[in-house]
Structure 1
C-alpha cells in the first residue's frame, strides 16, 4: 500500500509530499511511509537538491527531521496509540528531538481543533480506519455523525464510512486515498450513500477484494483494499484483484498479481451500481446478464419466503427422543426439528431433535409435563422482549410462525452455506431461524411445481447465477438471504415433466440409502446421473455454450462429487 501511494517520482517532483493517517493506531503505515521516503531521498539526494535548491539548508539539518516536519501526519482518538506512534518515529533517530505531527483527537468531529493543528491538504491519505457497527456507537454520537456525514452515514452505517468522506476532505485535488477497510461496504444496504459518494467523487484505481478471507491475523473482518484519486471523473477502468473462492492466503505470501490466487480483470467504474458493487470479469458479467435476461419470473413474484422459528431459548424448547420418553412429554405438542447443518443438496439428515411447539397451548393444565419441562427456564423466558411487552406468554416460542407454514410440502435451505443446498420437505418438519422456507404462491402452482423449482435452485447454472451477487462470509460460506435470492429469475421449460420425475427419483434413491443392505455405490452413481441430467437440461434451456459452461464450473469449483462425504458434511 505504501509503495503504491508513494512513488519515487512523487518525492522527486515534490519533496514536501504530505501524508496523513487519520486513524493511525500504533503508526504502522506512517512508519512504513517514513522508511519509504527516507530511502527515496537518500538514494536521490543530489537530484532532489538540484531540482529544489530552496530545500538544501533544511535537508542539511537531517533527512529524519525533514520527514517528520514536512511529510508525515497522524491522528488517533486513543492517547496510548498517539504515544506509540510518536515514540516509534522518534526512535528512528533517538538523538534528534523533532516531535512528529501526531495528534490526539476525534478527527471526525473535533474539526476546529485538529484543523488548526493539521492546517494542510494532503497528497496521500492512507490507513485502516476502525470498523464499528451502529450498535456499538453511542446514540448521541451517531446523531452527530449523521448530521456531519449525511452523504455517507445513515442510522445503521459503519463508522469507517465517515473516514472515507473525511479522507476525501483532507485530500488536495488529484490526491490519493488508500484504505484497508471491510469489504462489507461493497454490498451492505447501509452503504448505498457511501458507494454513490465514492463512485461520484473519486476515480477508483484498484480494488483488492479478499472475498471473505480473513487475511490479516486477528482481524474479524474480510478486508478490501481500495485505492482512488480525488479528481474529475473520466472513462475510468478499475483494476480488480479478487481472491479466488476457497483460496487461502496471508499477508506473508500475498501477491495480488499471482493468478493462482487472484482473478485479475478490469471493469468500468460506470458499471458499479449504487445498490451494490458486483465485481465480475467480463465473461462472468456477460454470462450473468444472459442468464438474468432469459429468466421469465423473479422468484419474489412467484414464491413466498419465510424464516424459520426463533425459540428464544433452545434449551427450553428443543428436546431429543430420550427426553421425550423419560419425561413422557405430551405428544400433540412435539414436532420434528432440523437446523442449518441438517440440510444437504436434495437430502436432509434423519430427525434427531424435536421442538415443543407451545404456541398451540390454550390451557396450561392440558400439558403439565411440557410445562414442567420448560418451567426451570421461566425466569429467563419471561425476560424476553416480547414477553416484557406482553406480546407473548412466558411459555410460548419467541417467534413460532404459523404452524400451517410447516405442515405442507415446502422447499427449505440453510441461510449460510458453501454451495446450494435446497431440499423439499414432505415430512412436516419445523426448522430453526438459520433455515429459510420457500413455497410457490397459490396462483402460480399450475405454472411451476416445487420439484421443478428445486431442480433449478440446485443446478450448477443457478449456483453460478446466485454466487455472482451473493454476499461472501468467510473463506467458503455465502449468505443465502432472501433479499438477494428472491430477486433472481427463473425460466420455465415448455415441458417440465421429465425434470419433475428426475427430482422424484433422486428423492427415492436417497430413501433407499437408508437401507443398510443397499448397493450404496450403485445408488450414488444413479443420483449423480440424475443431477448431471438436470444440469445439462438447464444449460440447454438457457442456451449455455460449452465455453460458458467452463466459466460456470470454474466459478463454483465443480467439486460437488456425490458420496458419503458430500451427504454427511457441509
Structure 2
C-alpha cells in the first residue's frame, strides 16, 4: 500500500496555506471530496481532463457520482448547499492533488477511511472514545465473523452489522472476506450481482457521526466497478433508537467506543442504566451496552465479534456484564493481548471476543483462549502478532499460548483465563489456603489534599519553621515504596485535619490564605462539607499512625513494605491494617514476605488488571481476593526470621546476601505448595 503519510502531508500543507486551521465539518468534507475524487480519477471512473471545468463549478459528491454513472444520480448521496465556484488558486492545488502521485489506482477503497482517520484531531477521537480498527485486525475479525455464513440462496437474506461503524474499516473487511468466499470463480455479471446484494441487503452500519457514515458509504460505493447506493448505512444511536429489528441480524462485527462514566452526559447515562440494567451499572463502560444490544439484535445462533477493552475481564464494574455474557452466549473465542497495545497511539489494552447467541450454553462448552506472552513488543512487530493469529505456527514460534477454558468454570467476580499450568499452580495455592486476604486485613487509601501546593513541603523548605512539629507528618508517594523497604521521606504534609481551633494559629492561616481561592473551589468546600482549611480527603489519622503494610496503587511487580514510622502518603498508595488475630497466626511480617515472593507476584498477576504491557493495578477489590495459607507456629517463626534477615540485608553491598535469602524464601514457599519443576519454571519466567 502507498505511503499514507505523503497524502496526509500534502493535505496538511494545503489546509495550512488556506487557513483551514480548525477541524470544522466543512474542512473535513472538503478533505473527503478531494480524496474521493482522486480515487475516482486514478481508477478511471471519471475523466478529470474532460470534466475539469464542470468539476470546478460543481464540486460535490453527487456530481462526482453522476459523472461515474454517466447521468445524474436518482437520489442525492450527500445533501450539500449550493456553494460558490472554487477559486483559481485552490483549484490549482486540487488539480495537482488529484493528478499527481501517489496514485490510488488499484488501492483498496479502505484507504479513504485510513486517511479520514489520519485527518481527525486526536482529541476528538479521545473525547468520543473513537479508536479505529487497524486493517490487519479488521481482516482477522472478518474472517472469524463470516466463516460460518451459509452458502446458497439463504445468503441473500444474511445481515452483517457494525453497530458503531465509524469509517467503515470492519464493513470493508467483511465485504472483502464475503467476496472472497462467494465471488471466487464467478463471472462479471455474477460478481456485480453479489456487489449489489452486499450494498443493498447484506451489510448494515450505524454510527452517531454523520460524516463517519458518509465515509463508510464512500468506501462501500468504491468496492464495485459500477455505482450502487449502499442502503444499509444509517446515522443514529443503535443503543437508544429502534433502527434495526430485533432478532434479525446474523453477524455483528464491532469496535464499540470505549467511554467511561466520567465522559458520559448524566442524562444519557440515566437512559442507558434504564435501558440496559443487566450490564450497565455504577461506573460501567459504554461498550458494555453494545454487548447487550447485540444480543437483542442477533438471531438465535448468530455471531458477535468485538474488539474491546480487556478491562471487562477483571474490572469490578464489569461483573454484571460477565454474568450476562456467560449466561446468554456460548463464548467461542477470547484473544487477550495481555497489555500489548496493538492499536497505535491508543492507551487501551484490547481483547477480541467472539460470542454465539444461544438459548442454553452447551455442557462442558470450551472457550478458545489465546493469550499473548508478556514481553516488550515493538510497534513495528504488531502486524506479525496479528498474522500469528491467522497462521498455524508451531508452538515455539507463536507469541501467544492457546488453550481451552471451560465456560462453566467462569465466575462473576473475575474471569481468570488460566492456562493448564497456571490453573494447576493456582489450584495448589487455593487448596492449602483457607483464608482470603480480605478476611485478615482492612485496606485504606492515601490522602487527597485537593491542592498539594498548599499542604505538601520539601524537607528543606524554610516555611516549615512557621509550623509546630506536631502539625507536620512525614510524606511519601508511590515511587518511595519498594519491596520490604520505604525510602526515607523527603517531604512533609501540613495535616490540618488534626489541628483543633486552627484559626488560633495565625501562621497557618497566613500560609493557607495564599491558596484560599483554589481551596474554596473544591467540591467538598463548595457544598459545605469541609472548611476551606481542611484536606479534601484527610482519611483516618489513626490508620497512618499505627503499624501498617503499604503498597503502590500501580506497579510492575509486588511491592509491599511495613511502615512503623507514622508515614502519611498520597492517594497513589494504599495501606493494609491487620485485623485482630482471633483464629490465625498471621502477622504483618508473614504477609509481606508472602506477598513479595515470586509465587505471589505470579499469583496476583494471573488475574490482576493490566495497564499496558508491564504495569498492573493493585486495587484492593482485586488484591484482597488473594488466598492466604494458615501457617503453623513453626512456620510463623521461620517467616519472622526470613523477614528479619531480609531487612538486615537492605543496605548497599548486601544485594547478594539478600538475593540468597529471597531465593531460600521462594524455595520454601514452592515446597509448601508442592509445586513441580515445570510449575516453578513457569513462575520464574515472570521474573
One of 45, 57, 60 as aligned partner of 2:186 = 45
- Is 1:476 paired with 2:604? no
One of 293, 308, 326 as aligned partner of 2:446 = 308
Whole-Å Cα distance in 1 between the matches of residues 291 and 342 of structure 2?
A: 22
Structure 1 position 487, deviation (Å): 2.7
Which residue of 2 is the match for residue 524 of structure 1? 655
- Rate the CA distance shift 1:192–1:453 in 2: closer, same or farther, 3 A: closer
The SS at the match of 1:443 is coil
The SS at the match of 1:406 is helix
Contact 1:302 1:444 in 2 (8 A): no
Structure 1 position 128, deviation (Å): 0.4
Which residue of 2 is the match for residue 265 of structure 1? 403
- Rate the CA distance shift 1:430–1:326 in 2: closer, same or farther, 3 A: closer
- Rate the CA distance shift 1:60–1:499 in 2: closer, same or farther, 3 A: closer
Which residue of 2 is the match for residue 176 of structure 1? 303
Contact 1:65 1:96 in 2 (8 A): no
Whole-Å Cα distance in 2 between the matches of residues 373 and 498 of structure 1?
A: 51
Whole-Å Cα distance in 1 between the matches of residues 279 and 577 of structure 2?
A: 37
Whole-Å Cα distance in 1 between the matches of residues 620 and 591 of structure 2?
A: 15
Which residue of 2 is the match for residue 547 of structure 1? 678
Which residue of 1 is the match for residue 82 of structure 2? none
The SS at the match of 1:221 is coil
Which residue of 1 is the match for residue 232 of structure 2? 101
Contact 1:340 1:434 in 2 (8 A): yes
Report Cα offsets for 1:181-221 as digits up to 9, x if no partner: 11122222323232222212211111001122321013332
One of 432, 436, 439 as aligned partner of 2:574 = 436
Structure 1 position 94, deviation (Å): 6.2
Tell me whether 139-148 or 300-309 shows the greater mean CA deviation: 139-148
Whole-Å Cα distance in 2 between the matches of residues 249 and 18 of structure 1?
A: 37
Which residue of 2 is the match for residue 461 of structure 1? 599
One of 218, 221, 224 as aligned partner of 2:345 = 218
Report Cα offsets for 1:324-374 as digits up to 9, x if no partner: 467644333121111011111112222211111111222335543333333
Structure 1 position 445, deviation (Å): 10
Scaled by the length of structure 1, the TM-score of the pair is 0.87
Which residue of 2 is the match for residue 494 of structure 1? 633
Structure 1 position 62, deviation (Å): 4.0
Which residue of 1 is the match for residue 142 of structure 2? 2
Which residue of 1 is the match for residue 361 of structure 2? 233
Count of residue pairs brought into register by the alignment:
533
- Rate the CA distance shift 1:97–1:475 in 2: closer, same or farther, 3 A: same
The SS at the match of 1:355 is strand
Which residue of 1 is the match for residue 250 of structure 2? 123
Contact 2:457 2:464 in 1 (8 A): no
Contact 1:124 1:171 in 2 (8 A): yes
Whole-Å Cα distance in 1 between the matches of residues 456 and 399 of structure 2?
A: 43
- Is 1:243 paired with 2:372? yes
- Rate the CA distance shift 1:506–1:170 in 2: closer, same or farther, 3 A: same
Whole-Å Cα distance in 1 between the matches of residues 583 and 195 of structure 2?
A: 75
Tell me whether 195-204 or 86-95 shows the greater mean CA deviation: 86-95
Which residue of 1 is the match for residue 643 of structure 2? 503
Contact 2:149 2:155 in 1 (8 A): no
Structural RMSD (CA): 2.4
Whole-Å Cα distance in 1 between the matches of residues 288 and 678 of structure 2?
A: 40
Q: Map of 1:145-224 to 2, 5 A cutoff? A: 145-224=272-351
Which residue of 2 is the match for residue 516 of structure 1? none
Which residue of 2 is the match for residue 275 of structure 1? 413
Report Cα offsets for 1:410-435 as digits up to 9, x if no partner: 21111111111011122221111111
The SS at the match of 1:533 is helix
- Rate the CA distance shift 1:293–1:5 in 2: closer, same or farther, 3 A: same
- Rate the CA distance shift 1:545–1:390 in 2: closer, same or farther, 3 A: same
Whole-Å Cα distance in 1 between the matches of residues 584 and 142 of structure 2?
A: 61
Which residue of 2 is the match for residue 36 of structure 1? 177
Q: Map of 1:355-374 to 2, 5 A cutoff? A: 355-364=493-502, 367-374=505-512
- Rate the CA distance shift 1:124–1:108 in 2: closer, same or farther, 3 A: same
Structure 1 position 43, deviation (Å): 1.3
Structure 1 position 105, deviation (Å): 1.2
